[in-house]
Amino acid sequence: MDLLELMKTRRSIRKYLPDRVEKEKLLKIQEAGLYAPNPGGRQGTKIIIVDDPELIDKIGVVNASCENRNWGVGVSSDQPSIIDDISIKSGFYNAPALAMVCIRRDGFEKVNPIGSAFCCAENMVLEAYDLGVSSCIVGRAEATFRFPEMQALLDEWGLDPDYLPVVFVCLGYINGSYPKVKPRNEGRTLFIE
């Protein structure tokens, strides 16, 4: 598929089948993240893939607890978020696989490393879509890992203590029909000559 068409048609998915994502696809998605733009070519992001639905759900419940769920405005009727539906307990929507993009803890004082993490996540969701895997980028990672039991997981996994997850990517196969492309809002661009 043409890259621009892929970007136009990919949607954030929050309803997943329990079917596991094949390891080969997860590795390709992870690899796409490694090739994201990064400041000075430093390649400062680290990517963790979790392929354990029970563990993902455990982390997702903590993640959802970090969100103010009283926004007063909805996110999506097709693919409801934890903002739209208070009965959703996990911020990862029962996704069977999860990626975490990490940056150095001192990166929060700098803009570029956080941007690099989100560029990494974007590369991953585009590759996922191209492979037929649905995805959704989810924030609140730094808040999720402030809890001691969550920090213990990072220690158990052997993540360098100088690093901390800043963004999540939920991965799985869509449960239901794929949402239609929504029209773009007018007035969002300027072109100066």
d(CA 147, CA 149): 6
Residue 193 falls inside a structural domain: no
Residue 185 domain-assigned (yes or no): no
In the block, tokens 């001691």 appear at 148
- 79, 12 contact by CB (below 8 A): yes
Look up the CATH number of the domain holding residue 125: 3.40.109.10
- With respect to residue 140, please indicate whether it lies within any of the assigned structural domains: yes
Query: Is there a domain that residue 90 lies in?
Result: yes
- Judged by average pLDDT, the poorest of 29-38, 82-91, 143-152, 178-187 is 82-91
What kind and span of H or E run contains 134?
strand 134-138
Q: How many domains does the chain have?
A: 1
Average pLDDT, the chain: 91
In a domain, 187, yes or no: no
- 188 inside domain: no
Q: How confident is the model at residue 41 (pLDDT cuts 50, 70, 90)?
A: confident
First to last CA, the chain: 31
What's residue 108's pLDDT?
Answer: 67
Alpha helices in 35-179 (DSSP H): 53-65, 111-130, 141-144, 148-157
The answer to whether the CB of 147 falls within 8 A of the CB of 30 is: no
Other Cβ atoms within 10 Å of 162 Cβ, number: 12
Query: 54 lies in a domain?
Result: yes
137 sits in which H/E element: strand 134-138
**Cα gap 94→56, rounded to integer Å:** 8
Domain assignment present for 48: yes
CA angle 54, 56, 60 (to 5 degrees): 115
Range of 66's domain? Answer: 3-172
pLDDT digits (tens, 9 = 90+) for 44-88: 899 999 999 999 999 999 999 987 767 666 677 788 888 888 888
Per residue in 150-181, pLDDT (tens digit) is 999 999 999 999 999 999 999 999 999 999 88
Place of tokens 């693919």: 79
* CB-CB contact of 43 with 103 (8 Å): no
Q: What pLDDT shows up at residue 110?
A: 67
Instruction: Give me the pLDDT at residue 73, please.
Output: 67
